[in-house]
């Protein structure tokens, strides 16, 4: 990979997936193989990939968590995963942070684990899929969980699920970004962003289509997207403004997001270990070339400033 044309002082990656040794051992015990498309990952492999882009620290996430375990074991093994993440941070305090896993879709167990992971283990936020068994995070069953995360001003990294191929296209190509868009629209429709303003939602892949569809999302909240319903024009910008607290990571979806969203809401992401070396370079170059054209404040905010505000423990360790 060529030397980056835009240097940064520090670089925080919020989209880096881990497969821990305790998970590999548990899969072997259960006879559940790792999906064929998931690359090998170890802490050292992760650091080697980070060094290709000059990444200072990655916030690890494991979107599937303990879902490969039998339901009766998921809560206990989620605790094991989170404790292992905390151990990994202690071993590499200046290279790794982590989003906690939750034993979804059990709301009560999730509240208990979120409190433990954030308060006792000191993890940096939580990671969840966009939906579970067809129920998005807007489902009333998750109200208590959202309230707990709201009280703690928790960063919540959401990751799409991949349905079956549509139009013979790979699900990860488009459907993941559409799933993120559906989730954000469901949250807006249930007024989650306004009811729980303390939650710092992070949408991957520049939020899918969210930055481009805010008007339609607002109209869905106001009318259910029935264009025959009369609407007060003053209500539309108020609904759009409720989406202004969303954060977007830059992973694998380059484009005009920096012209559509505030630079204070954009985070750097790579999708290690899924991105090859050349794609890592293309992403980094695209993000920071665009940012540099808009000003050094944009470069600094996306590289580390926004992440430092979201993750104060990480900022403290790197100070």
Q: What is the pLDDT of residue 2?
A: 64
pLDDT category, 4, cuts 50, 70, 90?
Answer: confident
> What are the structure tokens assigned to 188, written together?
């807006």
Average pLDDT value over all residues in the chain: 95
Task: Give the phi and the psi of residue 88 in degrees, each rounded to 5.
Answer: -65, -40
Contacts 24+ apart (CB under 8 A), 31-34: 32/68
| pLDDT of 294 strictly over 80 | yes
The answer to whether residues 114 and 149 touch, using CB atoms and an 8 Å cutoff, is yes
Write the pLDDT tens digit of every residue in 141-199: 999 999 999 999 999 999 999 878 889 998 888 999 999 999 999 999 999 999 999 99
More confident residue, 163 or 213: 213
CA angle, 59 as apex, 120 and 141 as ends, to 5°? 60
Nearest-angstrom CA–CA distance, 149 and 123: 13
Other C-beta atoms closer than 10 Å to the C-beta of 245 total 15
User: Model confidence over 85-110: pLDDT tens digits?
Assistant: 999 999 999 999 999 999 999 999 99
pLDDT of amino acid 117: 98
Say if residue 258's pLDDT is above 70: yes
Counting residues of the chain whose pLDDT is more than 90, the rounded percentage is: 90
Give, in order, the Cα–Cα distances in Å from 138 to each of 104, 163, 192.
14, 19, 7
pLDDT (0 to 100) of residue 171: 86
> What confidence category does residue 304 fall into, taking pLDDT thresholds of 50, 70 and 90?
very high
CA distance 43 to 14: 16
User: Is residue 11 a contact partner of residue 55, using CB atoms and an 8 Å limit?
Assistant: yes
- What's the CA gap between 224 and 221, in Å, rounded? 6
b/e sequence 96-114, b meaning 16+ C-beta within 10 Å:
bbbbbbbbbbbbebbbbbb
Residues 6 or more apart in contact with residue 280 via CB below 8 angstroms: 1, 49, 52, 53, 270, 272
Tokens at 250, concatenated: 């830059």
Question: Does pTM top 0.85 for this prediction?
Answer: yes
What does the pLDDT look like over 59-88, one tens digit per residue? 999 999 999 999 999 999 999 999 999 999
Query: Please, which pLDDT band fits residue 3 given cuts at 50, 70 and 90?
Result: low
Tokens read off for 262:
């505030």
Q: How far is CA 30 from CA 26, 35, 38, 199, in A?
A: 6, 14, 18, 35
pLDDT of residue 317: 97
Our CA dihedral for 269, 270, 274, 277, rounded to 10 degrees, sits at 180
């Amino acid at each position: 990979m060529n030397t980056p044309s835009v240097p940064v002082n520090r670089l925080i990656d919020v989209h880096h997936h881990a497969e821990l040794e305790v998970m590999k051992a548990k899969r072997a015990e259960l006879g559940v193989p790792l999906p064929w498309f998931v690359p090998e990952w170890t802490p050292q492999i992760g650091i080697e990939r980070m060094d290709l882009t000059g990444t200072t620290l990655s916030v690890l996430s494991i979107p599937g968590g303990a879902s490969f375990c039998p339901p009766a074991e998921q809560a206990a093994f989620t605790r094991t995963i989170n404790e292992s993440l905390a151990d990994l941070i202690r071993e590499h305090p200046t290279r790794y942070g982590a989003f906690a896993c939750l034993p979804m879709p059990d709301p009560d167990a999730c509240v208990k684990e979120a409190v433990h992971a954030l308060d006792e283990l000191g993890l940096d936020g939580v990671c969840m899929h966009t939906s579970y068994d067809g129920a998005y995070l807007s489902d009333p069953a998750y109200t208590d969980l959202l309230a707990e995360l709201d009280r703690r001003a928790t960063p919540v990294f959401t990751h799409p699920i991949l349905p079956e191929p549509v139009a013979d296209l790979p699900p990860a190509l488009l459907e993941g970004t559409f799933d993120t868009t559906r989730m954000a629209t469901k949250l807006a429709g249930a007024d989650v962003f306004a009811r729980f303003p303390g939650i710092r939602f992070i949408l991957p892949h520049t939020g899918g289509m969210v930055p481009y569809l805010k008007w339609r999302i607002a109209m869905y909240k106001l009318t259910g997207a029935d264009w025959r319903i009369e609407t007060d024009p003053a209500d539309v910008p108020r609904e759009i403004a409720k989406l202004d607290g969303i954060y977007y990571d830059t992973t694998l979806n380059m484009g005009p997001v920096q012209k559509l969203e505030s630079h204070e809401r954009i985070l750097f992401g790579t999708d290690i270990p899924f991105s090859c070396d050349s794609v890592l370079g293309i992403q980094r170059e695209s993000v920071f070339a665009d940012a540099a054209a808009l000003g050094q404040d944009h470069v600094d905010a996306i590289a580390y400033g926004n992440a430092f505000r979201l993750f104060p423990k990480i900022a403290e360790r790197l100070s």
